[in-house]
Amino acid sequence: MKIVEKVFGQYHEESVIEYTLVNDSGMSVSCLNYGCIITKILVPDRNGKIENVVLGFEQFEDYLDLSPYFGAVCGRVAGRINHAKFELDGEVYQLTPNEDPNHLHGGKKGFNSVIWKTEHVETENAVGLKFFYRSVNGEEGYPGNLDTTATYLLNNQNELSISYEARTDQKTIVNLTNHSYFNLSGNLKRDVSEHILQMESNRFLELGSDLIPTGKMIDATNTPFDFRHGRLLQSGMKSAYPQNVLAGGGYDHPLLFTKKGENTVILSDKESGRTLFVTTDQPCVVLYTSNQLEGPFSISGVRARNHLGVCLETQGLPDAINQPDFPTIVLNPEEVYHAVTKYRFFSNTIGV
Q: Which residues are catalytic?
A: 179, 313
The alpha carbon torsion through 138, 142, 146, 152 (nearest 10 deg) reads: -120
Q: How far apart are CA 229 and CA 235, in angstroms?
A: 13
**337 has which bridge partners?**
166
Best CA proximity match to 175, nearest among 330, 11, 14, 15: 330
Q: How far apart are CA 299 and CA 305, in angstroms?
A: 10
Best CA proximity match to 218, nearest among 204, 232, 198, 200: 204
Chain mean position to CA 52? 17
Give Cα separations from 230 to 63, 224, 234, 320 (angstroms).
33, 11, 12, 28
Helix (H) / strand (E) element for 60: namely: helix 60-65
Q: How far apart are CA 85 and CA 7, in angstroms?
A: 38
Label the pairing between strands 159-168 and 146-155: antiparallel
Q: How far apart are CA 316 and CA 299, in angstroms?
A: 29
Q: How far apart are CA 307 and CA 252, in angstroms?
A: 12
Q: How far apart are CA 250 and CA 248, in angstroms?
A: 6
Q: How far apart are CA 55 and CA 306, in angstroms?
A: 12
The DSSP 8-state label assigned to residue 107 in this structure reads -
Burial label, 229 (beta-carbon count in 10 A; 0-12, 13-18, 19+): exposed
Question: Is 69 within 8 Å of 178 (Cβ atoms)?
Answer: no
